Amino acid sequence: MAASATKAHPRFGGVTGSIARCVGAGAPRRAVEEWLAAVDVRLDGARPWDPRIRDERVFDRLFRDGTLGLGEAYVDGWWDCDQLDEMVSRVLRAGLEVGFRGWRAALAAIRAWIGNQGRRSRAFEIGRRHYDLGNDLFAAMLDRRMTYSCAYWKDASDLDAAQEAKLDLICRKLSLRSGMRVLDIGCGWGSFAIFAAQRYGVQAVGVTVSEEQRRLAEARGRGLPVTFRLQDYRDLAEPFDAVVSIGMFEHVGAKNYRTYFDVVRRCLRAGGLFLLHSIGGPTDSVAGDPWISRYIFPNSHLPSVRTLCAGIGNAFVIEDWHNFGADYDRTLLAWERNVVTQWPALRHRYDQRFLRTWRYYLLSCAGAFRARRNQLWQLVLSPDGVAGGYASIR
């Protein structure tokens, strides 16, 4: 659950005050009970979204370390919840998490504000710590093309179809044609580049900061006009007819947005289009969720509408802005089901603690999208504006 430095939600300001009074009186459990009652969640209740407490120390940990401590306590087995995603969604819809920040989250925010989490010296850290965890894990979790971003469920009934629909949607938004040269910044395991080469006849170059991704993408794209590189986006300086970036922008960092868009602009030929696919957050925060940043995506940061537009500046014209963030809820639940189903084949490499970490990541994020706290944006950008206007595609 995302931590925030903003003030308490106005509908529940009294709840936050009662929490403070109960904590001062030495009753942290009672404080949390009052806090959750406002969203119809009961400690040790009978509904699937009611958390079951295994260790009473969880309450002190929550008040000491905020949502970071709450996630750590879940991984430690101090509490459980059959429908964790729904519990998180109820809390976030009401804005109740803002009363729990913790000193470690505050320190991380200060460090992010002073430093530059997306600087060049850290470019490959996310690859080593997350995307290189193991191709077996991601192959078990994702669709058959290994597409690690929000699927498009508009006319789809399963994950494979929804991911293919998303890839085809992007190709149509970019008006891809045979012979075009396309750049994929943050190409993952090559799903988009391979799809675009197979279905639309393009030549594609994909860049990633993960050696495991590059290696598997090369194997999967053998025989097609696709090339995959281990490369920082800042080193790109060659012409392309179209550029796409799917689920990579969350690793750029707000202090590097202008550099990022300048790189894309210098690589995009006149008349070309750029599609940016990114998660978006509700506030102009300087750091990501403390638990996600520590255990899942180091140095991650979600753009807000304001910070994203400030980064784009006058480098591009925004031709289209499509929000289908509600589809990420369903995507994350499909990934979580796949991990649980495939766990017998994975447990020889990943322990039970890893499974709890991974399920907390997927289910808590599903709850954040269900609450519409997080969004999924696809922007179509052009260097100088499409003559006569751009026709939006859905």
Q: Which residues are annotated as catalytic?
A: 365
* Pick from 370, 381, 372, 314: nearest CA to 49: 370
Tokens of 162: 């929804």
Q: What is the DSSP letter of 222?
A: T
- Contact (Cβ atoms closer than 8 angstroms) between residue 183 and residue 205: yes
Tokens of 143: 């669709």
As a whole number of angstroms, the distance between CA 147 and CA 183 comes to 17
As a whole number of angstroms, the distance between CA 127 and CA 262 comes to 23
Give, rounded to a whole angstrom, the gap between the first and last alpha carbons of the chain. 31
| 287 Cβ neighbours under 8 A, 6+ residues apart | 105, 108, 109, 111, 112, 113, 117, 293, 301
Strand order in the sheet with 203-208: 226-230, 203-208, 181-185, 240-246, 268-280, 375-382, 317-323
User: What are the angstrom distances between the C-alpha of 356 and each of 128, 228, 328, 368?
Assistant: 21, 33, 20, 18
Containing H/E element for 347? Answer: none
As a whole number of angstroms, the distance between CA 254 and CA 305 comes to 12
Sign of torsion, CA 127 129 135 138? negative
